[in-house]
């Protein structure tokens, strides 16, 4: 099968990103961009981000997860520690996060190192989840091969009966990671493919330098 996409064209003309206008701290610019996209583009799942890891087989793999917290230290998301990405990060904590907000013609690419957050923070977030999502964390041995969906449905039904009226505690194999950034690049689409790119790089684990990149 062949499909020719060479005539797909889109002119990016919704904004600009000038080095002279951005703050010294990239986390401030991230917050500004996130809030703008979240406020002006209702159909955009703003906190959806792609995380790329290096698997145990040596291949990179990307998938979408949801950002649940961001602060000066980094970017937090939650998953199964025994999943494919969890095992990959245990072996090699270097990861890449990316956000693509097509409505605003913006992209953010983050290189950093992932580590588990403290148990209390994972417990607090797990307790805030709907019961269905809590049970889902118990049902799924994420990334493992299963024979059919009915296996999941039957296991969920059994757990619903087992935990009826009971507190659901966070399983030990499920919790949060924080990605601590070493490099953050902001990309704003521009006309004629002359896109704006500003890259921040951290020095001495605390000081950020910024530069403009050719598109």
What pLDDT, on a 0 to 100 scale, did the predictor assign at position 19?
95
Q: Which of 176-180, 202-206, 211-215 has the lowest mean pLDDT?
A: 202-206
Is the confidence at residue 31, as pLDDT, over 90? Answer: yes
Is the confidence at residue 140, as pLDDT, over 90? Answer: no
Averaged pLDDT score across all residues of the chain? 95
pLDDT tens for 34-75 read 999 999 988 889 999 999 999 999 999 999 999 999 999 999
Average pLDDT over residues 87-91: 98
Q: Which of 32-41, 116-125, 199-208 has the lowest mean pLDDT?
A: 199-208
What is the pTM for the complete model shown?
Answer: 0.94
Q: Which helix (H) or strand (E) holds 136?
A: helix 131-139
What is the percent of the chain with per-residue pLDDT over 70, rounded to a whole number? 100
pLDDT tens for 147-191 read 899 999 999 999 999 999 999 999 999 999 999 999 999 999 999
* Torsion on CA atoms 196, 37, 50, 116, rounded to nearest 10: 110
- Catalytic: 193? yes
What pLDDT, on a 0 to 100 scale, did the predictor assign at position 34?
98
Q: Alpha-carbon distance 142 to 139, whole Å?
A: 9
What pLDDT, on a 0 to 100 scale, did the predictor assign at position 156?
93
Is the confidence at residue 83, as pLDDT, over 90? Answer: yes
Measured N-to-C along each axis, helices 131-139 and 149-162 cross at an angle, to the nearest 10 degrees, of: 120
Q: Alpha-carbon distance 155 to 132, whole Å?
A: 13
What is the percent of the chain with per-residue pLDDT over 90, rounded to a whole number? 87
Q: Which residues pair with 76 in a beta bridge?
A: 69, 178
What pLDDT, on a 0 to 100 scale, did the predictor assign at position 109?
98
Is the confidence at residue 141, as pLDDT, over 90? Answer: no
3-state secondary structure of 152: helix
Is the confidence at residue 205, as pLDDT, over 80? Answer: no
What pLDDT, on a 0 to 100 scale, did the predictor assign at position 38?
96
Average pLDDT over residues 18-22: 95
Catalytic residue among 193, 197, 199, 212: 193
Residue 193 falls in which region: left (phi positive, over 0), alpha (psi -120 to 50) or beta: left
What pLDDT, on a 0 to 100 scale, did the predictor assign at position 142?
84
CB 186 within 8 A of CB 29: yes
């Amino acid at each position: 099968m062949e499909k020719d996409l060479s005539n797909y064209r889109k002119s990016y003309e919704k904004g600009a990103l000038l080095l002279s206008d951005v703050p010294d701290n990239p986390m401030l610019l991230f917050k500004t961009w996130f809030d703008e996209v979240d406020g002006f583009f209702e159909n955009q799942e703003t906190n959806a981000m792609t995380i790329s890891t290096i698997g145990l087989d040596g291949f990179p793999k990307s998938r979408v997860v949801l950002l649940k917290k961001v602060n000066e230290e980094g970017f937090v998301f939650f998953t199964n520690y025994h999943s494919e990405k969890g095992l990959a990060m245990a072996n090699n904590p270097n990861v890449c996060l990316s956000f693509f907000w097509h409505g605003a013609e913006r992209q953010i690419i983050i290189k950093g190192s992932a580590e588990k957050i403290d148990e209390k923070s994972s417990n607090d977030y797990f307790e805030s989840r709907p019961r269905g999502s809590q049970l889902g964390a118990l049902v799924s041995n994420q990334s493992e091969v299963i024979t059919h969906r009915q296996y999941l449905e039957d296991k969920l039904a059994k757990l619903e009966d087992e935990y009826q009226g009971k507190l659901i505690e966070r399983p030990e194999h499920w919790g949060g990671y924080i990605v601590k950034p070493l490099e953050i690049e902001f990309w704003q689409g521009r006309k004629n493919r002359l896109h704006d790119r500003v890259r921040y790089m951290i020095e001495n684990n605390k000081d950020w330098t910024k530069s403009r990149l050719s598109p």
